[in-house]
Amino acid sequence: MPEEIPNPHDRFFKELFSQQETAVDFVRYYLPEDFVETLDLTQLEIVKESFIDEELRQYFSDLLIKVRLKRGGEVFIYILLEHKSSPDDMVALQLLTYLVQIWRPNLSTRTKPLPLVFPVVFYHGDGEWNVSRTFQSLFDFTGLEALHELTPEFKHLICDLSKLEVTAGGPRLRAGLTTLKYVFSTELPSRLREIFETIKQLPEPLIMEYIKTVLTYLSPITGKISPETAKAALEAALPEKEGSIMQSLAETWIQEGMEKGEQKGVARQTLRMLHRKFGILEAELQERIRSLTIEQLENLGDALLDLQSKESLLAWLQTNASVESIHPRELEELEVR
């Protein structure tokens, strides 16, 4: 079965920090000054490794950065991006799990001291972060205060985009952070021109590509950015390039990308309703539903109230989807399951 497109937050976050210059800008301008002063930012390396379990990747992304210290040695910066639109009060436990994985290689090699890790939770939900930053806040020590010193304790930095003024760094970082900041907000359509005007400050060969990257990220996630909104923002931000960009991008790529994103969004919502009614569907059946057109998905949504079993769903697909959507043998196999 073809694998579904990776979580769009994860893909955009990884693309944003894929360039060393962008990672350096983030560390320099958005981490504590006294910590940054200890770093040799000319010796920064992005470690291409993720520590997040497969089933949690719809909720989190991560990034591991290794930087040389001016005094000698190295320090890791571990950034955990939370995709949820509201804070997760168990994020400290997730973070501890990933920190242990960073240190685990030292267990087999018996290497000491363990590498220092600066933990950052990167939050871009709609609303301020209101969860404690301490790991011990997850416990109730009432009557057992002596366990404080026997229980792991650490704090993590919160990079809360809802409160962050995105004014520092290069245009690629500022446009990316602004996009992440408003992706769950009703302000997103009105901020699109600002995002494009920031991208406009990039070198000429990179402008079109990064506009595509931003719109690829936005189209599957929200229904807030229509092709008309994207076109208007592009015309306002890049009037001198209206002919070439609107012809090659707005009129062609945006329309196709938005329609594709809309189909994925409708399919995702339809599957969510089907899972709630019939339980988790088999992978093959999920893929069949993802392949339906927007019209077919909307018709399935209208018929959902009348479908009383998984068998009636399969029968509806056989009748209303394309003839090859559900083959008779496949129907029998799915019914047996």
Give per-residue pLDDT as tens, 89-128. Answer: 888 998 998 899 889 888 888 888 999 999 999 888 777 8
Specify the pLDDT at position 49.
Answer: 63
Q: Give the SS3 label for residue 121.
A: strand
Specify the pLDDT at position 199.
Answer: 94
Q: Give the SS3 label for residue 77.
A: strand
Specify the pLDDT at position 331.
Answer: 41
Interaxial angle between packed helices 171-182 and 204-221, expressed in degrees from 0 to 180 and rounded to the nearest 10: 10
The three-point CA angle 13-16-18 to 5° equals 105
Specify the pLDDT at position 61.
Answer: 76
Cα separation, 161 vs 307, in Å, equals 43
Q: What is the mean pLDDT of the chain?
A: 80
pTM attached to this predicted model = 0.69
Specify the pLDDT at position 288.
Answer: 84
How many Cβ atoms from other residues are within 10 Å of residue 38's Cβ?
11
pLDDT at residue 196 above 80?
A: yes
Specify the pLDDT at position 228.
Answer: 77
CB 161 within 8 A of CB 177: yes
Specify the pLDDT at position 222.
Answer: 58
Instruction: Please identify which residue in the block is written with the tokens 């995702």.
Output: 268
Phi-psi region of 51 (alpha: psi -120 to 50; beta: other; left: phi over 0): alpha
Model pLDDT for residues 299-325, shown as the tens digit of each residue: 887 788 788 888 888 888 888 875 344
At 337, is the pLDDT very low, low, confident or very high (cuts 50, 70, 90)? very low
Cα separation, 176 vs 164, in Å, equals 13
Model pLDDT for residues 214-228, shown as the tens digit of each residue: 887 887 555 667 777
Which secondary-structure segment (H or E) carries 5?
none
238 vs 56, more confident: 238
Strands of the sheet containing 74-82, edge to edge, are 39-47, 60-69, 74-82, 116-123, 157-160
Model pLDDT for residues 12-66, shown as the tens digit of each residue: 888 888 888 999 999 999 999 999 999 999 999 998 766 555 555 555 578 899 9
User: Which residue ranges make up each domain of the chain?
Assistant: 8-185, 281-336
Q: DSSP H helical segments within 279-336, as ranges?
A: 283-290, 294-303, 310-320, 328-336
Query: Which letter, b or e, does each residue of 222-246 get, where b requires 16 or more Cβ atoms within 10 Å of its Cβ?
Result: bebbebebbbebbbebbeebeeebb
At 230, is the pLDDT very low, low, confident or very high (cuts 50, 70, 90)? confident
Backbone angles phi, psi at 24, to 5 degrees: -60, -45
Cα separation, 168 vs 180, in Å, equals 15
Cα separation, 34 vs 236, in Å, equals 40
Cα separation, 10 vs 60, in Å, equals 7
